[in-house]
Amino acid sequence: MATTRASTNAAVPETGDGTTTPPVGTPTPTVTHYQQVAAEFMSALDEISQIIPKLEAIHVSTANLVRSRLNVPNEFLATVTAAVEQVPELQAINKLDVNAARDTIQFLEAFRPVRDKVDAFAKNLKYTMDSRKAKLATDSLLTYDVAKGLARDPNSATIASLVANMKR
């Protein structure tokens, strides 16, 4: 069995998959249910993103150019593509690849509903997070108000101490 040395110079056995097990007595962080669900979702999202051909990441050197061309209508792009396809003089200037242009137009048309659905999902996820926080905040503020009232009782030293912590 192979071993590696921990910072305490104690032998740490490998698990067989190349990872090491922590020494006995070393606390490990607790992974919550929601952290597991979020990790599973992010993994699935990574898999889904692999489906999209040539998915590009935003880059600072091209972001301004991309943003500046978004106002050009898709109908104009299709019209120019058709013109280049039909007119040999426009083909001769070699500025527009008709096949690549058609591919891009098809991509834009096909993925627009996907983008709309993803945008709606992102808004719903944000709203769900905000809504849950708002409910917890409402309940917490109400509890704080009640605790402040209870803390006025001289026999409630523990609650008074907790209210002081809440006030921070």
**Are 71 and 54 in contact, with CB atoms under 8 Å apart?**
no
| Overall pTM > 0.75 | no
CB atoms < 10 A from the CB of 105, how many?
Answer: 15
pLDDT tens for residues 72-124?
A: 999 999 999 999 999 999 999 999 999 999 999 999 999 999 999 999 999 99
Other CB atoms within 10 A of residue 97 CB: 13
Q: What does the pLDDT look like over 4-31, one tens digit per residue?
A: 444 444 555 566 666 666 667 788 889 9
Whole-angstrom distance, CA of residue 139 vs CA of residue 166: 13
